[in-house]
Amino acid sequence: MPKILVCEDDLLTQQLMQFKLRQQGFTVLAAADGGVALDLARSEKPDLIILDWMMPVRDGYEVLRQLKEHPDLKKIPVIMLTSRSKDCDIARTLEMGAADYMIKPFSPMELMARIKKVFATQKPDSDAGTSEPGK
């Protein structure tokens, strides 16, 4: 089963994502702040990270920067899921290496479709995971 790390400080949003992801057969890890998110990414090496921008300890932009600078974590795809909707934020995050960007409020169905698309477009030799989503 693919392992997804959900980094979200809003408990209701985090629980919704965990529920929907588990329904689709994913293994789910969760972090409510950027520090825990980085620790879990280092120790668990998830297949995908869903990352909120505005979190305590370290914001999502800083977490993304550190992930992309880390040799063992840089290939893990990241979907930024945030209420920040400025074009400059979206462009900067995608240029930094995020696989996708979604703006809150979001549709759980759209999130699932984007997750499956990220997994489908990963290169087979990627270090970020080898399992098929939803299987």
Q: How confident is the model at residue 3 (pLDDT cuts 50, 70, 90)?
A: very high
Q: Are strands 27-31 and 3-7 parallel, antiparallel or unpaired?
A: parallel
Burial 40-55 (b: 16+ CB within 10 A, else e): bbeeebbbbbbbbbeb
Q: How many CB atoms lie within 10 A of CB 14?
A: 19
Residue 122's pLDDT is what?
Answer: 83
Residue 123's pLDDT is what?
Answer: 66
Residue 77's pLDDT is what?
Answer: 98
pLDDT tens across 41-53, in order? 999 999 999 999 9
What's the CA gap between 119 and 131, in Å, rounded? 9
pTM of the predicted structure, to 2 decimals: 0.89
Residue among 127, 16, 62, 21 at smallest CA distance from 80: 62
- In the chain the domains, ranked by start, together with CATH numbers, are 3-120 (3.40.50.2300)
Q: What is the mean pLDDT of residues 5-29?
A: 97
Residue 98's pLDDT is what?
Answer: 97
Residue 128's pLDDT is what?
Answer: 46
Q: What is the mean pLDDT of residues 7-27?
A: 96
pLDDT tens across 90-128, in order? 999 999 999 999 999 999 999 999 999 999 998 665 444
Give the CB-side neighbour count of residue 80, counting CA atoms within 13 A. 29
Helix or strand run (H / E) with residue 28 = strand 27-31
